[in-house]
Amino acid sequence: MISYQIYVVDDEPALARGIALTLEKDYDTRAFFSAGTALEAMKKARPDLVLLDIGMPEMNGIQALEVIKRDFHETLVIMISAFEDIDTVISAMKLGAYDYVVKPLQIDTLEMTIHNALESIRLKKEVKTLQEKYLKENLPCFIGESKAISDVMQFVQTVARSPDTPVLILGQSGTGKELIAGAIHYRSPNFKGPFIAVNCAAIPKDLIESELFGYEKGAFSGANPSGKKGFVEQAANGTLFLDEIGDLSPEAQAKLLRFLESGEFHRVGGDRTICIRTRVVSATNKDLKAMIENGTFREDLYFRIGVISVKIPSLNHRREDILPIARYFLVQFGEKFGKNITGISPEAESVLERFHFRGNVRELKNLIELAVLTANGAELTVADFGIQAPELSGPLSRVQPAGRPLIPRQGVDITSILEMYEKQYIEEALLLSRGNETRAAQLLKLKPTTFRYRRQKFGIPCPDLREPGMP
């Protein structure tokens, strides 16, 4: 149950004490006989609500209200007036007072006004608690104190205030672009709306338009007889996250541009105009400017989706964050696999700090997961990570750990372990092939169609890690 603190400020001591005593059965109350003493107390303990008398000597209620809204803007204020001076009340409301009551006070009216004010505070606190819980549980890749990541999180806090301004997130594969999109959503006014994530690279180009905008019944052969809502419609009053937006077909690009400009679209096979409001957050690891030059991405769409843009730094450019993130994943996977691993050895920490992460935080997460799964000691060692440095001047590389894992007393879930290995090999093959699915399939001795099915099954994006000019 949420506890609320209320300050009662009135230059009539008997009245201030009487109100405080009346309310203390439900709230934590304090009485003050001048605005100055109340403001001093607020510097040490900020109340949720202030009942503030307008007509006080020295500093009157209007002057005190100005200070409260400037320095303690989250605190609500209910003004108390000895008479219905409409001009004074209007001034107070313009300055940000929540409401007002008139002397002589009617307790029922006062309690109802307080209840309504505190209900709005409760909703704000509830939303803030849920938002902080989401960020804590879902943003481990942004743990750390590096300036690079502090700048990104400040960016999230700033741009999230808008409900519909488009945002473009740039960065290498595995840096956490979808997590940043989620953080923007959960800190925005759209918090209670849906967050719809779409991997544009995983949808066949001939279906992307109907998947995004939906279709009417009978729109094409094999269509759902009753039609279908697209991802855009599903994201109404929320956030639509378009990952790998560089993979959109020219037709889908044109339709997305029209939607971003007008908020309107038509389902495939229909002529009914549908109008919704949602924020579109896009992400890519491709060079959209180069794509504009070669005619594969619309310049007008680029400027529309990138009203605000941010680039997520690679893990190799914020090495001071590697160990805090690694320790977070150590606790996470220790609980998952039922292992009491207390830490990472100094030698292993040194190796992690020097390791070249091609897959960024995703690769670090996989590295910790495998190490925790196969470790037998109280702390993770270099051998558990399977990392060696054949040349001191070259990047550290990975090798398969020697020996075989022991089965703990509580047993293991072999299905999840096999899936974990399969997922890791798919991600590693994509890294080694620099995002070329055909080459990645060859590395795993799979048919390209089988490889693509398994990649999509685990929701693994296909990164484009080619150097400029590579085929």
Query: Taking a C-beta distance cutoff of 8 angstroms, is the pair 307, 167 a contact?
Result: yes
Q: Strand 167-170 to strand 76-81: parallel, antiparallel, or no bridges (unpaired)?
A: unpaired
Q: What amino acid is encoded at 142 in this protein?
A: F
The CA-atom distances, in angstroms, between 142 and each of 129, 154, 180, 314, 335 are: 19, 12, 9, 11, 21
- Cα–Cα dist 364/349, whole Å: 12
Q: What share of the chain is helix, strand, coil (3-state, %, to 5)?
A: 50, 15, 40
Query: Taking a C-beta distance cutoff of 8 angstroms, is the pair 157, 335 a contact?
Result: no
pLDDT for res 399: 47
Q: Which residues pair with 81 in a beta bridge?
A: 102
Single out the residue of 400, 374, 377 nearest to residue 387, CA to CA.
400
* Structure tokens, 240: 């639509």
Where do the domains of the chain lie, and which CATH numbers do they carry? 5-130 (3.40.50.2300), 146-313 (3.40.50.300), 316-457 (1.10.8.60)
Q: What is the DSSP string of 124-162?
A: HHHHHHHHHHHHHHH-GGG-S--HHHHHHHHHHHHHTTS
324 backbone dihedrals φ, ψ, rounded to 5°: -60, -40
Compute, in degrees rounded to 10, the torsion defined by CA atoms 151, 154, 156, 159. Answer: -110
Q: Is 209 exposed, middle or buried (0-12, 13-18, 19+ CB in 10 A)?
A: buried
- Cα–Cα dist 1/225, whole Å: 49
The CA-atom distances, in angstroms, between 138 and each of 172, 192, 322 are: 19, 17, 17
pLDDT for res 370: 87
pLDDT for res 425: 87
Q: Who contacts 85 (Cβ-Cβ below 8 Å, separation ≥6)?
A: 54
pLDDT in tens, the chain (471 residues): 568 999 999 999 999 999 999 999 999 999 999 999 999 999 999 999 999 999 898 899 999 999 999 999 889 999 998 766 777 888 888 899 999 998 888 899 999 999 999 888 887 777 666 666 665 556 655 666 688 888 888 888 888 888 889 999 999 888 889 888 988 898 888 888 999 999 998 888 888 888 999 998 877 776 677 788 999 999 999 999 999 999 998 989 999 999 999 999 999 888 889 999 999 999 999 999 999 999 999 999 999 999 999 999 888 888 888 998 898 889 888 888 888 888 999 999 988 988 888 888 888 988 898 889 888 888 999 888 876 543 223 445 554 444 445 555 556 677 777 787 788 888 888 887 878 888 888 889 898 888 988 888 888 877 655 444 444
- Cα–Cα dist 183/466, whole Å: 29
pLDDT for res 121: 84
Q: What is the DSSP string of 338-380?
A: T----EE-HHHHHHHHHB--SSHHHHHHHHHHHHHHH--SSEE
pLDDT for res 335: 84
Side-chain half-sphere of 431: how many Cα atoms within 13 Å? 18
pLDDT for res 373: 87
pLDDT for res 448: 87
Terminal Cα-to-Cα distance of the chain (whole angstroms): 61
Supply the pTM of this predicted model.
Answer: 0.59
- Cα–Cα dist 323/38, whole Å: 46
Alpha helix locations (H) across 53-142? 61-71, 86-94, 107-138
